[in-house]
A = this chain, B = another copy of it.
Amino acid sequence: MSGYGDFCPVARASEIFAERWTPLIVREIVNGRHHFGEIHKALHRISPSVLGERLRELEAKGVVERRKNMSGRGSTYHLTGAGRELKPIIDALGVWGQRWLELRDEHLDADALMYQLRTHIPEASLPPQHVVLRFDFRGSMRSYWLRLERPHSELCDYAPALEDLVVRPDVETLTRVYLGEAALASALRTGIVAVEGPSRLMRMLTKWIVPSRFGSYARPMRYHESTGEFRQLSAVRAQGRLS
């Protein structure tokens, strides 16, 4: 970028924080990703060279601390004190985005969604013996398999075993469910998200797929069959609280 040439602390902070990819990288480290590869997988559209450059910048500015792995290979990246104080800013940005920004088609990404869903399954709700869900997104050829089993679940692009439940959502609806804008229960009821399988497992779906931590700030949306679009339920704005 090359700076603003401005001594104002907002400008100096923006030089670092408001640069492409940087807020998301910090978010990922906040979320507990400490390895290069983990961050890169979570931000799968960033190129490794840019990620490396950003991490170096953040280290130079005292936001990130790089710890060489004692096992020789690789490092882990941790937030410094300064970096940890960015967390409330990240959170505030997320809350703001949730409250005020529309979800648009260009934000939809089935891969990323499945990745998020997988990492967000409450561990307490995981079944002791494995359950395999297959997700077939409408209008897409490929399927995703989610193999749930305590303590670790797994996301595959092939069938790891015979599936117990088949879910047929569309990307937008399931994304809005994840964002907390739509309720999975009603999406199942109206059939926008179709499911095949034992009703016992169907009922578990709402335990496995839960809204993100910004979900309580979402504006409730409702699907309108006539237009095929989601619209804001009312002018009422949710008051939320970060978990």
Residues of A near any B CB (own CB < 8 A)? 1, 3-14, 16-24, 27, 43, 45, 61-63, 82, 85-86, 88-90, 92-101, 103, 106-109, 112-113, 116, 175, 178-179, 212, 214, 217
Overall SS of chain A's interface = helix
Q: A17: which B residues are within 8 A, CB to CB? A: 18, 93, 96
- Once A1-B20, A88-B92, A101-B16 are accepted as A-B contacts, the answer to whether A214 and B7 lie under 8 Å apart by CB is no
Number of copies: 2
Q: A7: which B residues are within 8 A, CB to CB? A: 103, 107-109, 112-113, 175, 178-179
Closest to A93 in B: B13
Q: How far is the CB of A211 from chain B (nearest CB, A)?
A: 11
Q: Which 7 A-B pairs have the closest CB atoms?
A: A13-B97, A9-B97, A18-B18, A82-B100, A9-B98, A10-B94, A13-B93
Among A89, A95, A103, A217, chain B packs the most CB atoms within 10 A around the CB of A89
**Residue contact A24 to B10, C-beta cutoff 8 Å:** yes
Q: How far is the CA of A172 from the CA of B155 in the complex (A)?
A: 55
- Once A99-B85, A179-B9 are accepted as A-B contacts, the answer to whether A93 and B14 lie under 8 Å apart by CB is yes
